[in-house]
Amino acid sequence: MPAQSQAVKTTVSATAKPKLVVGIVVDQMRWDYLYRFYDLYGNAGFKRMLNQGFSCENALIPYMPTYTAAGHACVYTGSVPAIHGIMGNNWYDKVGKRSVYCTEDSSVSTVGTTGDAGKMSPLNMWTTTVTDELRLSNNFKSKVIGIAIKDRGSILPAGHSANAAYWYEGKTGKWITSSYYMKALPEWVNKFNAKDLVSDYMKTDWNTLLPISKYDLSSADDKPYERAIPGEKTVTFPHRLSTMTTEKYSSFPYTPGAATFTFDFAKQAIENEQLGASGVTDFLAISISSTDYIGHSFGPNSVEVEDSYLRLDKDLGDLFTYLDTKYGAGNYLSFLTADHAVAHTPAFLKEHNLPGGVFSMGDIVKTANQKIEEKFGVKSGILSAQNYQVYLNTSEFEKAGKNVAEVANFVVSFLKQQPLVVEAVSFHNFGSSTLPAPQNDMYINGFNPQRGGDILFTIKPGYFEGSDKGTTHGSWNPYDSHIPMVFFGWNVKPGKTNRETYMTDIAPTVAAMLQIQMPSGSVGKVVTEITSQK
């Protein structure tokens, strides 16, 4: 553990509430990044949060699968997919016989560009968020704005009653929104978009912030198991962003500049929407998506990931300096967490004689369907397999007069025969699972009866469905579920705890600090050690 540096003196206001709450979700941030790169961080970003704020060192995600949409929803609802409904980025709808995207909404239209990228809303999330509760607490005087490159990273945190949610459109490089929030973009957003800052960012090649010899915490730069940025043919520094033309807007999220761009836009939202200036607490929900794009492509042990966090550290420092100037240190409350963490790249594990690998769910489903047809005479017995769940074609089995429970048991038995499958259990037989209690609880919390499959399964640690390049997340294991959870600013007492805390504790803790109601589906607990209030 690094030594604590001397805390910067702050002026804590006597005001009853903070002027602004800034929630920061870093997409795909592992908890260990706080300390792995600590010695290379400056003093104004991560170090300031750790030294002046309160860190929950053993913060975990209490459900699985650990995917982006579920994570953002859980942070802000204080709830779990079984209750709030967002059980993954996608899930299968048996009635419509199609995959559903978490924030899709065909009843609204895109605002800010043409196409369907803005046909999104929080419709599929069943509970309120802490941002909704803040608005409800003062008859909607508080302003709430969500900002992220990813639509789901903006929409779900902002909640149902938000004043605005903005996300990035990869075809045009512009910030857009939905008619759910407004009929037209504000003029300040149009002016920001007109600057075409993405083109400016992409004119500069991505080289390491420090001499590459300093990155001795990472693997060598050139590894065959890394995946190139779209539009680029190599995986090594410098990344020739300036050579990209038609791909520049769609490739931009794979660069650290996308994080800076997000913070730039957030500062403009503060200025133009006059957040924190009305006498009530406002809320800005920021999600940094570029870390996820970069992490998926290069893996957690890459120079690219290390460099992106050193740059993110500078961005955070710039944000806090700006907020100090704008509101005064101690007059705003911020928290930083992640929607999930990430697994090591399987080829990296193999390189170092560690267990791990990939498997093809498509191959498993294909073989299972063949065996189901031979046994029961029904084709396409499995409709879909996602979120570590299997969806059976129950309507066809019922039409054929087959016992669905018998079919489920047959598929469970087949899955258990697969070398990487540790356990499989049908939804109706949760009680018979041999999973240890922590795993079993995570499966129950992540399973939504209306949107979930018929069978759940778990696999060996270190393995996931995917290719031999890059990496992913989604499992219950600590490498996917151990996340940072740091509170900083207004009424936060410096310190840390190693007791077990959960992602779901963030919303009720913020609600308690603001003296407002917790969200409607909240199951989290208040982290009482954080506050300096007596």
Question: Which residues are known catalytic residues?
Answer: 68
d(C-alpha 186, C-alpha 107), whole Å: 22
d(C-alpha 182, C-alpha 164), whole Å: 8
Element (H, E) at 84: helix 81-84
Q: Which of 40, 22, 8, 13 is nearest to 305 (CA)?
A: 40
* Amino acid in the structure at residue 456: L
* Amino acid in the structure at residue 470: G
Let me know: does 313 contact 42? Beta carbons within 8 Å: yes
* Amino acid in the structure at residue 248: K
DSSP assignments along 276-302, one per residue: T-SSS-EEEEEEE-HHHHHHHHH-TTS
d(C-alpha 430, C-alpha 82), whole Å: 14
Let me know: does 146 contact 155? Beta carbons within 8 Å: yes
d(C-alpha 103, C-alpha 106), whole Å: 10
Tokens of residue 75, six digits = 């942070």
d(C-alpha 31, C-alpha 480), whole Å: 10
Other C-beta atoms closer than 10 Å to the C-beta of 229 total 25
SS3 114: coil
d(C-alpha 371, C-alpha 374), whole Å: 5
d(C-alpha 53, C-alpha 7), whole Å: 10
Q: In what order do the strands lie in the sheet with 455-459?
A: 382-386, 389-392, 455-459, 421-426
> Rounded to 5 degrees, what are φ and ψ at 139?
60, 40
> Rounded to 5 degrees, what are φ and ψ at 378?
-115, 125
The secondary structure of 8-25, three-state, reads: CCCCCCCCCCCCEEEEEE
